Amino acid sequence: MDFGLSEEQTLLQDSVNRFLADQVSLDKVRLFTKNGDTDKQIWTSLCTLGLGGILIPEELGGTGLSPMDATIVAECLGYRVTPSSFLSTAVMAPVALIASSKREDLLSASAEGNHQFGLAFSEAIGSRDGSGLNWDGNVLDGTTVFVQDLNADTFLVATKEKHLLLVDAKATGVEKVEVPNIDQTRVMGALSFKRSPAELISENIDVYHQVLDAGRVMLAADTLGAAQNMLNQAVAYAGQREQFDRVIASFQAVKHMCAEMVANLEPCRAMVWYAGHALNEVKDEARVTACHTKAHLSEVGQFVAKTATEVHGGMGFTDLVGLHYWFKRIGYNRQMLGSPELLREEAASLQDM
């Protein structure tokens, strides 16, 4: 059986890649990491392509595409280390709201690019010392850390009990604390709540897992794109950098490093595509596939990031080349929504059931 992109999906991939090549240069990424003020500009531009509402039904202003289509877009965004709230605003929050049939007004606003969501899932995946949430059915108290997209308008919060809540960023008692993050293309921090109004979106654990699986697949796709870019940069650099009057690409050791990166990364593409396909089409396999895919991409991405940097030698650590943006993106994705170790343990539990 052949498994590949349809003509429409190839056109989607090409159009997103062309847009990002033109609009999201490395200089624009650098600007974001310095002052953080270009995220909404980039996001508004992405929404003009329909990416903000990629999973939102057409009757609500979205494009009504599939999780597989969103996976393709996530790979493109990772390739350009694009600062955006795609994971939270275009994927995880819409999946939660659509599955629970709640807040269609927010779905319409986000599809138009007028509303952004943030993610606060650390309490559901693994709470940390000094954090913890208490929801009494009406208001929320406590602190949650590792909140993604801290500048959002509304936060999708997951409790330890796997309940999904919506909290307005301007609600009473909500305080944001931005925390330095290894991946400066993402705005991360902590949220504290003091009797803050919270709206229950779902207490169904299946909805929680559906949202989480979608997020994990998108992070795997983002890592795939970032790793592919690092590999491409390493090959291009090896073909230009000369040592002992020869390009270093002619050295057997460098050839082996590049070949090993290709051999490890290329099979991952089919794995990521299948994981995106399974979210809607093979739901019985979606959870375990999402776990294995993100765990495997985390490990392969880390290997490619390390090896590509080594191919560049000392230049790989400079901001002139900028390789570190992709390196840090891959490192961030590895830990977000579950480390490889946690994911493999979860997958093993699922397969024992």
Residues 289 and 194 reside in one and the same domain: no
Nearest C-alpha neighbor of 21 from the set 79, 67, 62, 65: 79
Residues 154 and 182 reside in one and the same domain: yes
Residues 346 and 217 reside in one and the same domain: yes
Residues 110 and 122 reside in one and the same domain: no
Which residue among 158, 184, 203 closes a domain? 203
Helix ranges, the chain (H): 7-23, 26-35, 39-48, 67-79, 93-100, 104-111, 122-125, 205-238, 252-281, 283-312, 323-335, 340-352
* 95 found inside a domain: yes
For 9, 38, 65, 69, 76, the CA distances from 15, given in Å and listed in that order, are: 10, 21, 15, 13, 10
Question: Does an H or E element contain 199, and which?
Answer: strand 199-202
Residues 293 and 335 reside in one and the same domain: yes
* pLDDT value of residue 248: 81
Residues 21 and 130 reside in one and the same domain: no
DSSP, res 189: E
Residues 213 and 341 reside in one and the same domain: yes
Question: Does an H or E element contain 178, and which?
Answer: strand 174-178
* 2 found inside a domain: no
Residue type at 148? Q
DSSP string, 273-297: HHHHHHHHH-HHHHHHHHHHHHHHH
Using a cut of 0.75, tell me whether the model's pTM lies above it.
yes
- Hey, CA dihedral for 303, 67, 95, 15, is it positive or negative? positive
Which residue among 203, 232, 257 closes a domain? 203
- Hey, CA dihedral for 73, 79, 82, 87, is it positive or negative? positive
* pLDDT value of residue 81: 94
Q: Which residues of the chain have pLDDT under 50?
A: 1
Residues 87 and 48 reside in one and the same domain: yes
Domain of 191, in residue numbers:
118-203
Residues 108 and 148 reside in one and the same domain: no
For 92, 216, 284, 296, the CA distances from 350, given in Å and listed in that order, are: 22, 16, 11, 17
* pLDDT value of residue 244: 86
Residues 198 and 212 reside in one and the same domain: no
Q: How far apart are CA 337 and CA 340, in angstroms?
A: 10
Which residue among 164, 181, 203 closes a domain? 203
Which position has the token pair 């090549």? 21
* pLDDT value of residue 179: 83
* pLDDT value of residue 159: 92
* pLDDT value of residue 2: 63
Which position has the token pair 């986000």? 110
* 101 found inside a domain: yes
Query: CATH number, domain at 21?
Result: 1.10.540.10
Residues 302 and 315 reside in one and the same domain: yes
Query: CATH number, domain at 140?
Result: 2.40.110.10
* 232 found inside a domain: yes
* 13 found inside a domain: yes
Query: CATH number, domain at 249?
Result: 1.20.140.10
Count of structural domains, the chain = 3
Q: How far apart are CA 170 and CA 178, in angstroms?
A: 16
**Residue 189 in contact with residue 179, Cβ under 8 Å?**
yes
Residue type at 190? A
Residues 347 and 227 reside in one and the same domain: yes
* 1 found inside a domain: no
